[in-house]
Structure 1
Amino acid sequence: MEHPRYALHGDTVVDRATTLPVGVLFEKNKLYKNLLAARGIDYTQLVSKRLLPDGAVLVGGTLYIIEKKFQAGSGSVDEKLQTCHFKKRQYEKLVAPLGLRVEFYYLLNDWFRDPSYRDVLEYIEEVGCRYFFKEIPLEELGL
């Protein structure tokens, strides 16, 4: 993470000016091990199947789930984009005992700018999820 204001020390996002931690990154299984299990939460009591985010960032009281979808041709990702509402709901169940809010974001490449994705991109926003192309502005992650 290269940014003039923030630095990454291990999985911790640190404000360079104050040297204070402002967020924590979790990838794949680290969400379960370092966030949930570390706080005594057994995910099997909350959801029936483990979801593995490409990335997640905890900033304040919000957990930002980030799914990266890049492709150069039609395929299974087309249908996976339509699952964001269900996945967001599952993550909300997971972190409910911690009192955290969940935001669900897709990080997409330019392939998804094609007009054939207009309906699914509208759907993503209609169900309370978001999408970004190439990068997510840090302000969108509460930073």
Structure 2
Amino acid sequence: MCAINKIVTRSYNTVGGGANTNLNGLEFERGTDLREAFANHPQYKLSGDSIIDRTTQEVVGRLYEKNKLYKNLLEANHINYKNIISKKLLPDDALVVGNTLYIIEKKYQAGAGSVDEKLQTCHFKKRQYIKLMTSLGLEVQFYYLLSDWFNAPSYKDVLDYIEEVGCKYFFGKIPLEKLGL
């Protein structure tokens, strides 16, 4: 696999992070998003919200951030989320590859705080996304991209729980094969 050569970071990123990535993943830190990661990837390019393989020129995926998931995917398919769930969930990043919707929530923390408890909501959120995507025939994968803070022994139970309920987590980068690419 190819690497992302450069990640564009927004000015509010104060925790650092490198501009280089490994050979087989998408790496993005606080202040960056999946769109930027693909835009700077040597194997893929973006055209609007479409991810295009640079070699074959085929569309291999489509991005839906925040409200675009509702406007460009659900509403475009005449689906009113209010008829399915009671409150909108806004993903940090969402990607459709094949028949799978990948929800990516980024959680960064450098000290004890409220994010600790938010990690335990992945099962509920995945369930809500599954309800939304059923009529489109899309499977749902729910991923956390976590800062190294959560790699401490005190998070073992919650990390185990995330996996037990069918969600996944990654530290610092998500391998391309985990996104169906």
- Find the partner of 1:3 among 41, 44, 68: 41
> Larger helix proportion, structure 1 or 2?
1
The answer for the alignment partner of 1:23 in structure 2 is 61
Deviations 1:77-130 (A, max 9, x none): 000000000000000000111010000000001111111101000000000000
Q: Alignment RMSD, CA only?
A: 0.7
The answer for the alignment partner of 1:132 in structure 2 is 170
Count of residue pairs the alignment pairs up: 143
- Over the matched positions of the two proteins, sequence identity in percent amounts to 69
Question: Structure 2: how far apart are the matches of 1:128 and 1:68?
Answer: 17
The answer for the alignment partner of 1:66 in structure 2 is 104
What are structure 1's unaligned runs of at least 5 residues?
Answer: none
The answer for the alignment partner of 2:92 in structure 1 is 54
What are structure 2's unaligned runs of at least 5 residues?
Answer: 1-37
Question: Structure 1: how far apart are the matches of 2:130 and 2:54?
Answer: 31
How far the C-alpha of 1:11 sits from its partner, in A, is 1.3
Question: Structure 2: how far apart are the matches of 1:29 and 1:137?
Answer: 25
Stretches of 4+ aligned residues off by more than 2 angstroms: none
How far the C-alpha of 1:5 sits from its partner, in A, is 1.8
Question: Structure 2: how far apart are the matches of 1:133 and 1:38?
Answer: 34
Question: Structure 1: how far apart are the matches of 2:55 and 2:74?
Answer: 30
